[in-house]
């Protein structure tokens, strides 16, 4: 086994969000809600929705290719691909296997990781362990979700929260100073059914009865999840900092899971940390689950909020209830992001094409995609489009 490196560094980063926007004004026409309530209670103004030809794997592959390019690597330099997701393209094969094919990697091991919205943080921790043990030199860690396919657009308690996206980092072995400093992960099964997706697994295989009961969509007890989230995000952050041997004032930027602005503010308040040093983009994307932290991290770097030598704290919580936090020193040159210019959806090769006539796009959003002024003004969906209405 090769010698273990002294450091595990973020060397590459990248993200991808689909172009179609679902705004609060759209939601006002679909469920009993309004822009003012959504903005005040969640901070969300719009989310992105994957098009009919986009899947978790295709979005993950774009974010992954961007992260590999930013790291100055080629796809075949990657030894391991980990995809954190609760919306894999299929129960099997893994989305990670599809990503491997899509980015043209010939040699990596690849697997999915199920920790819901903490999936990216758990993936980072797993990748760190592989690199620190000398079992991998470069690991591609992706968080990617197509939550719009698991969202009930008749349920105002959930449909305003979620969106689609992907984000990625490359973790690399290095003998340079800096890199990962403290990792904490927790799981509290007492909250397992506060946010969950009842049907489609082995305990409740999908059937007419589960479809009728809309159990193929996410269910959530919002306010209980909220309280548990603020508590665990705070304690997990503190534990990660303690393992890093740092104090909160040493942290330059906190990049939290973007679930709700009030949860993020609650975290900052409980830690006594200023909001000016917390990165927020929940207004533009909503909650993208495992994609949330790496998408926010990429945007934080792109917007000049991260410089070499900064200490960062990434923290998330999700179904399980899982929670995880990473404290690390950023060592890469933010300008390396320019290496990913020109990489987009056309750069990846995903074309299963054998699933006709299933259209994965949510029928409830066809009117948004068509550019119609209201659901009533849109063409009625064809039979092909109404499979999961």
**Cβ count near 26 (within 10 Å):** 18
Out of 9, 105, 117, 159, pick the active-site residue.
Answer: 117
The CB-of-263 to ligand UT7 minimum distance in angstroms stands at: 6
Out of 159, 257, 281, 284, pick the active-site residue.
Answer: 257
Residue 260 annotated to the active site:
no
Residue 159 annotated to the active site:
no
Residue 128 annotated to the active site:
no
Q: Which residues of 323-337 are buried (b: 16+ CB within 10 A; e: fewer)?
A: bbbbbbbbbbebebb
Under rule CB under 6 A, residue 115 binds ligand UT7? no
**Cβ closest to ligand UT7, residue 20 vs residue 39:** 39
Under rule CB under 6 A, residue 195 binds ligand UT7? yes
Q: How is residue 107 annotated by DSSP?
A: S
Under rule CB under 6 A, residue 114 binds ligand UT7? no
Stretch of 37-45, 82-90, 349-357, 378-386 lying at the interface with ligand UT7 (CB under 6 A): 37-45
The CB-of-30 to ligand UT7 minimum distance in angstroms stands at: 10
Whether the CB-CB separation of 223 and 243 falls below 8 Å is answered with: no
The CB-of-49 to ligand UT7 minimum distance in angstroms stands at: 18
Stretch of 2-10, 155-163, 180-188, 335-343 lying at the interface with ligand UT7 (CB under 6 A): 155-163
CA distances from 374 to 14, 23, 25, 35, 378 (A): 35, 13, 10, 16, 7
Distance CA 285, CA 174 (A): 33
Under rule CB under 6 A, residue 232 binds ligand UT7? no
Distance CA 346, CA 365 (A): 24
Site string for ligand UT7, 310-329 (x = CB under 6 A): --------x-----------
Binds ligand UT7 (CB under 6 A): choice among 24, 95, 232, 260: 260
Under rule CB under 6 A, residue 30 binds ligand UT7? no
> C-alpha angle with apex 367: 362 to 371, nearest 5 degrees?
125
Task: Using CB under 6 A, count the residues that bind ligand UT7.
Answer: 20
Q: Which residues of 154-187 are buried (b: 16+ CB within 10 A; e: fewer)?
A: eeeebbbbbbbbbbbbbbbbbeeebbbbbbbbbe
Under rule CB under 6 A, residue 42 binds ligand UT7? yes
Phi, psi (rounded to 5 degrees) for 21: -105, 135
The residues annotated as belonging to the active site are 117, 257, 287
């Amino acid at each position: 086994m090769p010698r273990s490196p002294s450091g595990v560094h973020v060397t590459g980063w990248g993200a991808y969000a689909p172009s179609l926007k679902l705004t609060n004004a759209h939601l006002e026409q679909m469920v009993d809600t309004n822009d003012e309530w959504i903005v005040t209670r969640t901070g969300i103004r719009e989310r992105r929705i994957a098009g009919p030809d986009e899947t978790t794997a295709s979005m993950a592959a774009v974010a992954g290719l961007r992260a590999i390019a930013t790291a100055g690597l080629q796809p075949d330099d990657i030894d391991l691909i980990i995809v954190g997701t609760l919306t894999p393209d299929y129960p099997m094969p893994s989305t990670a296997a599809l990503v491997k094919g899509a980015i043209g990697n010939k040699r990596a091991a690849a697997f999915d990781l199920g920790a819901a919205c903490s999936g990216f943080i758990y993936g980072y921790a797993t990748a760190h362990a592989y690199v620190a043990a000398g079992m991998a030199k470069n690991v591609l860690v992706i968080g990617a979700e197509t939550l719009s396919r698991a969202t009930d657009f008749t349920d105002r308690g959930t449909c305003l929260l979620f969106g689609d996206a992907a984000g990625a980092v490359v973790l690399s072995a290095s003998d340079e100073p800096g890199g990962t400093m403290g990792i904490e992960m927790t799981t509290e099964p007492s909250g397992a059914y506060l946010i969950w997706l009842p049907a489609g697994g082995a305990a409740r295989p999908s059937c007419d009865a589960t479809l009728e009961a809309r159990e193929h969509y996410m269910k959530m007890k919002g306010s209980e999840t909220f309280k548990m989230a603020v508590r665990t995000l705070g304690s997990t952050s503190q534990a990660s900092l303690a393992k890093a041997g740092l104090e909160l004032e040493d942290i330059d930027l906190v990049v939290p899971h973007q679930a709700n602005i009030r949860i993020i503010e609650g975290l900052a308040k409980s830690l006594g940390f200023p909001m000016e040093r917390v990165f927020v983009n929940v207004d533009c994307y909503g909650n993208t689950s495992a994609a949330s932290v790496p998408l926010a991290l990429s945007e934080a770097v792109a917007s000049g909020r991260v410089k070499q030598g900064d200490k960062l704290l990434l923290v998330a919580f999700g179904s399980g209830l899982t929670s995880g936090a990473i404290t690390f020193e950023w060592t890469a040159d933010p300008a390396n992001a320019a290496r990913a210019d020109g990489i987009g959806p056309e750069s990846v090769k995903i074309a299963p094409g054998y699933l006709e006539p299933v259209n994965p796009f949510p029928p409830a959003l066809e009117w948004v995609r068509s550019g119609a002024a209201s659901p009533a003004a849109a063409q009625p969906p064809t039979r092909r489009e109404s499979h999961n209405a």
